[in-house]
Structure 1
Amino acid sequence: MSERTILIVDDEVEIRNLMSIYLKNEGYQVVDAPNAVTAMDILKKQKIDLIILDVMMPGMNGIDACLKIREEHNMPIIFLSAKTEDMDKIHGLASGAEDYVTKPFNPLELMARVKSQLRRYYMAPEKDNSSPFLEKGDLKVDKKRNEVFVRDREVRLTPKEFQILSLLLRHQGQVFSIQQIYEAVWKEPFYKSDNTIMVHMTKIRDKIEENPKRPIYIQTVWGVGYKA
C-alpha cells in the first residue's frame, strides 16, 4: 500500500498528526495541509490517491473545496466534520465526496473507510479513476474537454447543464433532490419556489434523450428527485 498517497486537509494540527500516525502505520504516504488553498497547491504538484477533507475550515470550507477539486480531479474524498445532521451529510456527498465521517471519530474506523475507498476506486477495473469519461449506455461525457456525445453525436450543453449531468453520472443510481443538485452546482442556498433545476433538466433531456417524455439517461424519482 506504500504507493498510495493520502492528503489530509484540516485546520487542527492535532487531528492531522493523529491521522498521519495511523495512516503511516498502515503503510501509506501522507501529505497534510492546514487549509484548502494549500491543498489546491499540493494537488497541482503531486499525485494524490485519496483526500481526507475537513468541512469546517476558515477561508474556503470543505464543501467549496470539494466542488473545486472535482473540476479537475476524481480521486476519492472522505469528509471529516463535527456536523452530524443527515442533511449536512447529504449536502457533503452531493458536492462530490464518497464518504462522510463525523467528529469525534474512531481512527480505526477511518482507516477502514480509507482502505474501502482505495480498494473500490483503484482495484476494480470498472472504477478506473484515470478514465476521462463518464458513460451510461450510448451517452458519453468527456470530463477533460467538457464535451457530451450521444451515439457518437456531439451534444452542446451549457456549463450548468454539463455540471448537472456530470454530477448525476458520477453517482449513477443515487437519487439527488432538487435542492442537492442546485446547491452542488450553483454553490448557493436553494429557495423552495425556485424551478431552475426543473427547467435545466427539461433542456438537458431535450438534448440527450431520443424521447424526452420517456427518458433513459436521467430518470425522475417522483417526490424525491432525479438519478442517472
Structure 2
Amino acid sequence: MAFDIAVGGTQDGGMTREENKRQRVLVVDDEAPLAQLVASYLEREGFEVLVTGDGHQAIEHAREWKPEVLVLDLGLPGLDGVEVCRRIRTFSDCYVVMLTARTEEVDKLVGLSVGADDYITKPFSPRELMARVRAMLRRPRSSEDSRDTEHVVTVGGLKVDVGAREVYLHGDLVELTRTEFDVLATLASHPRMAFSRRQLIHEVWGDGWVGDDHLVDVHVGHVRRKLGDDPADPMFITTVRGVGYRMGRGE
C-alpha cells in the first residue's frame, strides 16, 4: 500500500523553525496506522516528518528532501527495506533505523549489512524509537568538537581525519557510513587502548541506547571489510579477547 503524507514540525518540542528545517525524519512503512503513530510522536518532538509506504518513493524523497534520519521498515512490499537502504546509501549518509517484525538474528544483520545504523523489532514503543532518534542526532558531527578538529590519526597506510570525517587508505578515500566512521574514530581516539563493546556503545550510540552489544561487532566487521583488514591477521583493528577492540596491528 502506497501513501505519501507530509507532517510539518511544530513548536511544541521547543525547537525553532530553523532547527525544524535541519531535523528531518523520513518514515517509510506500509502499515499506515503505525507510520502515522510514529510520525505524530516525531512531530510532537519538533521534527519535520514525511511519511510514505512505498520503497521507490522513499528513495526519491531521500534524494530530494535530504532527511537527517530515515525510519525504514524492513518488510516493505515490492522493493523491500533492505534494497531501499542499499540504494539510499549510494547517495546519503543519513542515520537509518530499521524496523523489523522478524526476530531472526539474520534479518537484523542483513539490515545492518546494507548500512542501517540501528534496528528495532516490532512491536516497539514509539518512545523507545524517539530515544534512539534523539541519541543519533546528539552524536557529534564534523567540527562540532573543537578538541577534535585537528585530530588526525595515522596507522600504517590508514589515515583517520576526525575533523574532516574522512578516512584514507594508502591515499584513497574510503567510503564509510556515519556509524562506521564513528566506531573507527572512537577506536582511533586512543590508539592501543582496548575498548569494551559497552564503551563503544556509550561513545557511538549514547547512553540512551538499549539493545544487543552484538551491534558493535557487525559495524566493526563492516569497517574491516572496507579496509581489507583480516581479523585473523589485522593491520588496523585488533580483537581483544574477552574485552572488545583496539586500534593497531595485532601482536
Shorter-chain TM-score category?
0.5 to 0.7
Match 1:154 to one of 162, 171, 182:
171
- Residue of structure 2 equivalent to 1:175: 217
- Residue of structure 1 equivalent to 2:67: 48
- Residue of structure 2 equivalent to 1:66: 85
3-state SS of paired residue (2:217): coil
3-state SS of paired residue (1:60): coil
3-state SS of paired residue (1:91): helix
- Residue of structure 2 equivalent to 1:11: 30
- 1:94 CA drift (Å): 2.6
For the 8 Å contact 1:148–1:154, the answer to whether it is kept is no
TM-score (norm: length of structure 1): 0.62
- Residue of structure 1 equivalent to 2:116: 97
Structure 1 pair 165–42 and aligned structure 2 pair: CA distance change class (3 A):
closer
Match 2:154 to one of 129, 137, 156:
137
Identical counterparts, % of pairs: 33
Q: Which moved more, 1:49-58 or 1:1-10?
A: 1-10
- Counterpart CA distance in 2 for 1:119 and 1:26 is 14
TM-score (norm: length of structure 2): 0.57
For the 8 Å contact 2:117–2:179, the answer to whether it is kept is no
- Counterpart CA distance in 2 for 1:168 and 1:103 is 25
Structure 1 pair 106–137 and aligned structure 2 pair: CA distance change class (3 A):
same
- State the Cα deviation string for residues 25-66 of structure 1 (Å, max 9, x = none): 111110111122101111222121101000001122111211
Structure 1 pair 110–94 and aligned structure 2 pair: CA distance change class (3 A):
same
3-state SS of paired residue (2:94): coil
Residue 37 (structure 1) aligned with residue 82 (structure 2): no
- State the Cα deviation string for residues 6-33 of structure 1 (Å, max 9, x = none): 1001111111111111111111110111
- Counterpart CA distance in 2 for 1:72 and 1:93 is 17
- State the Cα deviation string for residues 57-105 of structure 1 (Å, max 9, x = none): 1122111211221122111110111012233223322321121111111
2:50 corresponds to which letter in structure 1?
V
Unpaired segments ≥5 residues, structure 2: 1-14, 146-151, 188-215
- Counterpart CA distance in 2 for 1:71 and 1:110 is 25
2:114 corresponds to which letter in structure 1?
S
Unpaired segments ≥5 residues, structure 1: 127-134, 157-161, 182-196, 207-212
- Counterpart CA distance in 1 for 2:229 and 2:118 is 29
1:175 corresponds to which letter in structure 2?
D
- Residue of structure 2 equivalent to 1:79: 98
- 1:165 CA drift (Å): 11
For the 8 Å contact 2:28–2:73, the answer to whether it is kept is yes
- Counterpart CA distance in 1 for 2:130 and 2:167 is 37
Match 1:116 to one of 114, 135, 156:
135
